Amino acid sequence: MGGHLVGLTGPPGAGKSSLLSALVRQWREDGRTVAVLAVDPSSKRSGGSLLGDRARIDHDPKDDGVLIRSTAAGTRLGGLAPPTREAAHALLPAFDVVVVETVGVGQSETDVAELCDTVAVVVQPGSGDTLQFLKAGIMEVPDVLVVTKSDLGDIAMHARRDLAAAMRAIGGAKVPVVAVSSIPPVNGVDELVAALDAHRAEIDVGAARVRARRLSALAEFVTEHGEAGLRALGGRRAALKLLEEQPPDAGVPVLVAALADATG
């Protein structure tokens, strides 16, 4: 099944890049190769990556075991453009861990959850992130919750308790809530790596990958043909059912053919 496809999402300023720098170091110390796709907002002029997130991730540029690339979000606010999805799947056979890091706004949480084996949602304490997370309707997205800046002490532990209680209230008690500090002395990163590994060990990776490819095909179809094209197929559920009736490698062409039949 190749490497472990990890999604890392959360609000701007939550400390994702610092956390990812610490994670990359930990994975490399464990002997794992790592590829990172840092999803930036897109430039309206060029359509390309705007911020260059890879510049914010601390790593050894001479280390051949690490690949970091910025990729554009495309037209969906915070979402994943089809090339990002394709790149993630292409990198999996070559790397032990492939991370998709994205800003947690708009479509990013659900897009990352559809694509990745394991999703970590990052929040920072004392900023309103915890309350926004509880209000945002994304409680079912995370496989692991991460509270950054645990060096702040009580305020970080309070955020951790609030999130753990919220997850228990909706039946998500199995979702671990890990507090980390990404600045020296780094703390909790090894616990986070263990939580990510434990989740992956529990899932049917093959089935998850097939579903991810079908959802990616559906997203690409909507990008090309819009919501009107999706409605012509009977909606999202009907389009997904159509893909599920085909071989695992069936994709966009099946949907395009069905659209031609429906509108012909």
Mean pLDDT (the chain) is 81
Give how far Cα 7 sits from Cα of 48, 49, 248, 250, Å. Answer: 21, 18, 22, 24
Q: What is the pLDDT of residue 219?
A: 82
Q: What is the mean pLDDT of residues 139-156?
A: 84
The answer to whether 109 and 14 have CB atoms below 8 angstroms apart is no
Residue 171: is its pLDDT beyond 50?
Answer: yes
Give pLDDT, residue 139: 67
Which residues are CB-contacts of 100 (< 8 A; sequence separation ≥ 6)?
5, 6, 7, 8, 37, 39, 80, 84, 88, 112, 115, 116
Q: Tens digit of pLDDT for each residue in 91-129?
A: 999 999 999 988 765 555 678 888 899 999 888 887 665
Query: What is the CATH number that goes with domain 4-203?
Result: 3.40.50.300
Name the percent of the chain lying above pLDDT 70: 80
pLDDT-derived band at 45, boundaries 50, 70, 90: very low
How far apart are the C-alpha atoms of 55 and 196, rounded to whole Å?
25
- Give the separation between CA 159 and CA 32, rounded to whole angstroms: 31
pLDDT of 42 over the 60 cut: no
Q: Write down the pLDDT at residue 41.
A: 57
Instruction: Put the strands of the sheet holding 34-40 in their side by side order.
Output: 66-72, 34-40, 97-103, 4-10, 118-123, 144-147, 177-179
Indicate the pTM of the whole model: 0.81
As a whole number of angstroms, the distance between CA 252 and CA 258 comes to 10
pLDDT tens readout for residues 207-225: 888 888 888 888 888 888 8
| Rounded-to-integer distance, Cα 100 and Cα 37, Å | 5
